[in-house]
Structure 1
Amino acid sequence: MSLEFTHVTLGQRVLFGSGRAAEHLASEVARLGARRVMVIASIAETRIAENVARHVEVTLHYSDISAHVPVEKAEKARAAATNHDIDLLVSVGGGSTTGLAKAIALTSALPIIAIPTTYAGSEATNVWGLTEGARKTTGVDDLVLPATVIYDASLTLSLPVGLSIASGLNGIAHCIDSMWAPRVDPINAALGAEGIRAFSRGLPLIKQDPSDLEGREMALYGAYLSAVAFASAGSGLHHKICHVLGGTWDMPHAETHATVLPYVLAFNAPEAPEAVARIASAFGTNDAGEGLRLLRETLDAPRALQDFGFKAEYIPETVEIILPAIPESNPRKATRGNLAALLAAACAGDDPRILSDDRSET
């Protein structure tokens, strides 16, 4: 069988090393010749951000951050950057923080240095997202791709175990979605598989000993791999579902992804044997769903969307919003009936295997 595909690898500088974030940031600011730096970090991570930027002259510390990047928050941050004549954005935090930096870069073309403190992976993609009127809009633009990513596992030590697990499972969702996303190819599939292996090793170590840097380094490594795979392959069924859940119902990002993941895997598995075999191998099991189930049990992962505010009565409206966004390339055809069944199972925390057995396409 011949091998033929088109692959794009995004150009980005990555600096990885525990305890070296401040050193790396100072060197990158100097390399980029920046003079007016805006450091973006939530109030909760102000101390971390100040410590990381201790060798840098900061023009503006900015902390008005919200999940899912509301448009009004983006416009306020853009105005602040303009008013202070900023020439470099530094984001220190999770996906919401990186997302706000991207929103500024989208209209200003300012470079970003991203310093993640979770495993969201946004720092390694050219994908942006904004929420307005309970609807989340996403797009792709190289302007929002951070010029440099600085990974320092010691900065994740303050991330609680529960959120570490949810964030890591979000990373695994990037990996799995990349196996059947619109631009899937052998390279991003390989990156996704290695990402699953890294998370499968790192997350149990974090659960066992939250102060052990080895697990957190593996999770950050997995986060980068997962994001690079996702950026190349594009957004698949899982992310289309979760973007609607987050943007429409204001659900927590990491926990929502962690909860929905096994249901999407079970839904697509019967129609994607090659992808499922690769996923199973990455988990070190004979069955992809079983591998994910065992990992989730070890981690005591989030189980039901209803635990985070989603209600069964929301399902019909959610289905109508999701359906037009699902890629034609998804292995299994999504319909109102089977998509509603997926959401109902995820809402209640039912066994995901019921979706593999249900072949109704009504």
Structure 2
Amino acid sequence: MKPFVYSANPARVIFGTGTIAKLPEEVKRLGLSRPLVLSTPEQSGHATKVEELLKSAGISCVGQFNGATMHTPADVTEKALAVVQAGNVDGVISIGGGSTIGLGKAIALRTDLPQIVLPTTYAGSEMTPIIGQTENGVKTTQITPKVLPEVVIYDVDFTMTLPVGLSATSGINAIAHSVEALYAQNGNPVIDLMAAEGVRALATSLPKIVSNSSDPDARSDALYGAWLCGSCLGLVGMSLHHKLCHVLGGTFNLPHAETHTIVLPHAVAFNAPCIPDALANLAKALDNDDAVDGLNVLLSKLNVKKGLKEIGMPEDGIDKAADLAVKNQYWNPRPIEREGVRELIRRAWAGEPARADIQ
């Protein structure tokens, strides 16, 4: 056994069906008396349900801020902070996916307010000390324990109505966390187990959800897998895949989950020559003899878009993205060179099947 270091992130996780009923208890346990509920405009109905639940338990709620949006723009954060200050808010409750959770983290970064998160997608941001923010068209990331939520309540009921398309891309987004964890520079045997199990749970459940979106067992398994994958993201460093997705999303305002979905098999194919052990673990989790083929097959089963051009990236952005991706050096199992990265992006833009032959 090789020596390793394992550091767990502190978090209280409540998992199950109907677990939103635990929310008032958790609010009181944290000593909150004036929480603010965060959501996107589309999730305002969920936010209202949260607010009503708190009021029925005798907990005053400052109200809602429903302006969360993808990539956590700085101007949206400033608007939310104005509500926080005006309402003397003492904690935030984020209900939604990565956009809402990102806003909660941005508020916590600036105020140290405690967070309770109720995820409604499989993105996994709730389990990480990572925050990505966008300003003037540039997305930057930061790692700090200040943005870790204090409590995460996973309620399968809130994922039952998640649209099939978003379920698929959100699930692949989660799988991407575990995939890169399998070959992380600071990986360890515990993370390997969590990552492989997270991939297996999602790769098995997502096709079932596409066939029957109201399958409660598949929904539960997918949320379980997303928790494991998100935990991996929060415990080890990521590399080329996540770097590229942040560059592409922030530069071209591409949808987060769809970008991860399209890029993932190509990023794995790029790194393939340097990660034989990780590929073996990933192939087994995908129930395929070949990891890259396993990802291609899974995406085909899920009927997702496979080209960046389909989600709004212009062809003349390929070179710009390649330049940005290699601008600042970061660890990756294979050396980051512009020519190879550009070819990776080109294939992802065109929607070609991933192939482990990028020079």
Tell me the TM-score normalized by structure 2: 0.96
The answer to whether 1:278 aligns with 2:281 is: yes
Give 1:43's aligned residue: 41
2:227 to 217, 224, 227: 224
CA RMSD of aligned residues (A): 1.2
Task: Give the distance between the partners of 1:327 and 1:119, measured in 2 at CA.
Answer: 26
| Cα contact 1:240–1:326 (8 A) shared by 2 | no
The answer to whether 1:257 aligns with 2:260 is: yes
1:125 to 123, 128, 136: 128
Q: Deviations over 1:99-146 (max 9, x none)?
A: 000000001000100001111100111101110111101101111100
| Cα contact 1:236–1:326 (8 A) shared by 2 | no
The answer to whether 1:147 aligns with 2:150 is: yes
| Cα contact 2:286–2:294 (8 A) shared by 1 | yes
Q: Deviations over 1:257-281 (max 9, x none)?
A: 0010110111111111011111111
Describe the SS at the equivalent of 1:66. coil
Task: Give the distance between the partners of 1:287 and 1:199, measured in 2 at CA.
Answer: 18
Describe the SS at the equivalent of 1:130. strand
Shift of 1:20: 2.4
The answer to whether 1:116 aligns with 2:119 is: yes
| Cα contact 1:178–1:236 (8 A) shared by 2 | no
| Cα contact 2:343–2:358 (8 A) shared by 1 | no
Aligned 1:251-330 pairs, distance under 5 A: 251-328=254-331, 330=332
Give 2:57's aligned residue: none
Give 1:239's aligned residue: 242
Give 2:52's aligned residue: 54
Task: Give the distance between the partners of 2:329 and 2:15, measured in 1 at CA.
Answer: 35
Instruction: Give the direction of change, closer, same or farther, for the CA distance of 1:186–1:46 in structure 2 (3 Å limit).
Output: same
Task: Give the distance between the partners of 1:327 and 1:277, measured in 2 at CA.
Answer: 24
The answer to whether 1:349 aligns with 2:351 is: yes
Whichever residue aligns with residue 254 of structure 2, its letter is: M
Give 1:7's aligned residue: 6
Whichever residue aligns with residue 336 of structure 1, its letter is: R
Q: Deviations over 1:128-183 (max 9, x none)?
A: 11101111011011111000101111111222101110000000111101122332
Describe the SS at the equivalent of 1:266. helix
Aligned 1:335-346 pairs, distance under 5 A: 335-346=337-348
Shift of 1:54: 2.4
Task: Give the distance between the partners of 1:247 and 1:46, measured in 2 at CA.
Answer: 25
| Cα contact 2:160–2:214 (8 A) shared by 1 | yes
Describe the SS at the equivalent of 1:39. strand
Give 1:101's aligned residue: 104
Structure 1 unaligned residues grouped into runs of 5+? none
Whichever residue aligns with residue 350 of structure 1, its letter is: E
Task: Give the distance between the partners of 1:277 and 1:90, measured in 2 at CA.
Answer: 40
Task: Give the distance between the partners of 2:239 and 2:122, measured in 1 at CA.
Answer: 19
Give 2:76's aligned residue: 73
The answer to whether 1:19 aligns with 2:18 is: yes
Task: Give the distance between the partners of 1:250 and 1:334, measured in 2 at CA.
Answer: 24
1:83 to 78, 83, 86: 86
Whichever residue aligns with residue 34 of structure 1, its letter is: L
Task: Give the distance between the partners of 2:3 and 2:184, measured in 1 at CA.
Answer: 17
Structure 2 unaligned residues grouped into runs of 5+? 55-59
| Cα contact 1:120–1:254 (8 A) shared by 2 | yes
Task: Give the distance between the partners of 2:260 and 2:303, measured in 1 at CA.
Answer: 15
| Cα contact 2:296–2:353 (8 A) shared by 1 | no
Whichever residue aligns with residue 337 of structure 2, its letter is: T
Describe the SS at the equivalent of 1:357. coil
| Cα contact 1:188–1:230 (8 A) shared by 2 | no
Instruction: Give the direction of change, closer, same or farther, for the CA distance of 1:358–1:245 in structure 2 (3 Å limit).
Output: closer
Give 2:358's aligned residue: 358
Percentage of pairs with the same residue: 40
Task: Give the distance between the partners of 2:61 and 2:202, measured in 1 at CA.
Answer: 34
| Cα contact 2:269–2:358 (8 A) shared by 1 | no
Tell me the TM-score normalized by structure 1: 0.95
Q: Deviations over 1:204-237 (max 9, x none)?
A: 1111111112111111111110011111112211
Instruction: Give the direction of change, closer, same or farther, for the CA distance of 1:325–1:197 in structure 2 (3 Å limit).
Output: farther
| Cα contact 1:104–1:110 (8 A) shared by 2 | yes
Whichever residue aligns with residue 110 of structure 2, its letter is: T
Give 1:29's aligned residue: 27
